[in-house]
Amino acid sequence: MKIRYDCSKCPGYCCSYDRIEITDFDVRRLAKHFDLDFETAKRRFTRQYVKKSEKIDEMILRHRKDSVYKSICMFFDQDERRCTIYAARPGVCRKYPEEGRCGYYDFLKFEREQQGDDEFIPSA
């Protein structure tokens, strides 16, 4: 599959999604990576997102305030604009964007061409 996006030129929009759902398997991988027990890793790195009216109950990655987006995954390096735990990242991050294109990257590329500025970051 031909890859038509370049994450190194993107400020990490997908890592700013509010709900990055992870599994117990992902927590075990994070625990191993940081040499922690499962419960400590779960408490430190995740929180529960619950919306009863829509029957949603998900374990998601914690966020921090970000200088580009409203907030971003706690594992994102905000200076380098990249993941700090690439080898231990959750399954959902490994799969994304699941095809050769990334919608946000197409949008970013188009806006940058329009502005004539390779570093332009449109408000998402």
* Closer CB to ligand SF4, 37 or 77, in the complex: 77
**Does residue 13 belong to the site contacting ligand SF4 (CB under 6 A)?**
yes
Which of 42-67 are b and which e, b meaning 16 or more Cβ less than 10 Å from the residue's Cβ? beebbeeeeeeeeeeeebbbebeebe
Name the minimum Å distance from CB 23 to ligand SF4: 13
Three-state DSSP class for residue 26: helix
7 vs 55 by CB, closer to ligand SF4: 7
| Member of 1, 19, 20, 35 binding ligand SF4 (CB under 6 A) | 20
Query: Measuring CA to CA, which residue among 70, 73, 71, 69 is closest to residue 61?
Result: 73
Site string for ligand SF4, 85-114 (x = CB under 6 A): x---xx--x--xx----x-xx---------
- Whose tokens are 């590329």? That residue is 109
Alpha-carbon span 77 to 11, nearest angstrom: 10
What does the binding site for ligand SF4 look like in residue numbers (CB under 6 A)? 5, 7, 10, 12-15, 20, 61, 73, 75-76, 83, 85, 89-90, 93, 96-97, 102, 104-105
